[in-house]
Amino acid sequence: MFVLAGLLAGCAGEGTAEITGSVDGLSITPTTLYWGGPFINFVSRDLDCDELAWVSKVYEEGEEPPTDFDFTMLQISYSESDVVTGTYDLSGQAPVKAEVVNVTGAALTVFKANEGTLIIDEVVGEEDAVGSFAFTFDDFGTLTGDFAVPWCTNLKSRT
């Protein structure tokens, strides 16, 4: 299944992402895409950089949703405090994780990638993060994509 590219104006300029695949029938059509701190986020909901204070490294299935609005998001997060260039294998004790987070009503669903590769080709200061990924979410599906995502000052490490 092909998912449409997302374009938007961000804190540092325009971003683009082309994401294909789905996870448990959920496609990611990002209309909000940013990176900052340890995060790269692709959200299927129109939000500004300053509306992302709820982003966290930890989402647990069945807990109270982090927002009072519905969204689907692919979130890539680093165990360290910053997004850095390189190639990352998500299997085992990887320094990077990828999750699809879905909020519908009062329900929070989380799908964690169990294998895959993240390649960050470029990330400089408050410029775009540029890269690609291919993630597998057990038997729930796969997501692949290429991106150039603008920086957002509001994305910071939260537990």
> pLDDT digits over 139-153, tens only?
999 999 999 999 998
- Does 154 reside within a domain? no
Q: Is the pLDDT of residue 136 over 90?
A: yes
The fraction of the chain above a pLDDT of 70, given in percent, is 90
For the chain, the domain total comes to: 1
The DSSP result for 93-152, as a single string, is: S-SEEEEEEEEETTEEEEEE--EEEEEEEEE-TTS-EEEEEEEEEGGGEEEEEEEEE-B-
Say how many Å lie between the first and final Cα of the chain, rounded: 33
Using CA atoms, how far apart are residues 92 and 107, in angstroms rounded to an integer?
29
Cα Rg of the chain (Å, integer): 14
135 close to 113: Cβ distance less than 8 angstroms: yes
Q: Is the pLDDT of residue 35 over 50?
A: yes
- Does 159 reside within a domain? no
Phi first, then psi: give them for residue 93, nearest 5 degrees: -90, 60
Q: Domain limits at 41?
A: 6-149
- Does 116 reside within a domain? yes
- Does 12 reside within a domain? yes
What pLDDT score was predicted for residue 94?
86
- Does 74 reside within a domain? yes
Q: Map residue 18 onto helix, strand or coil.
A: strand
- Does 1 reside within a domain? no
- Does 157 reside within a domain? no
- Does 117 reside within a domain? yes
- Region of 33 please: left (phi>0), alpha (psi -120 to 50) or beta: beta
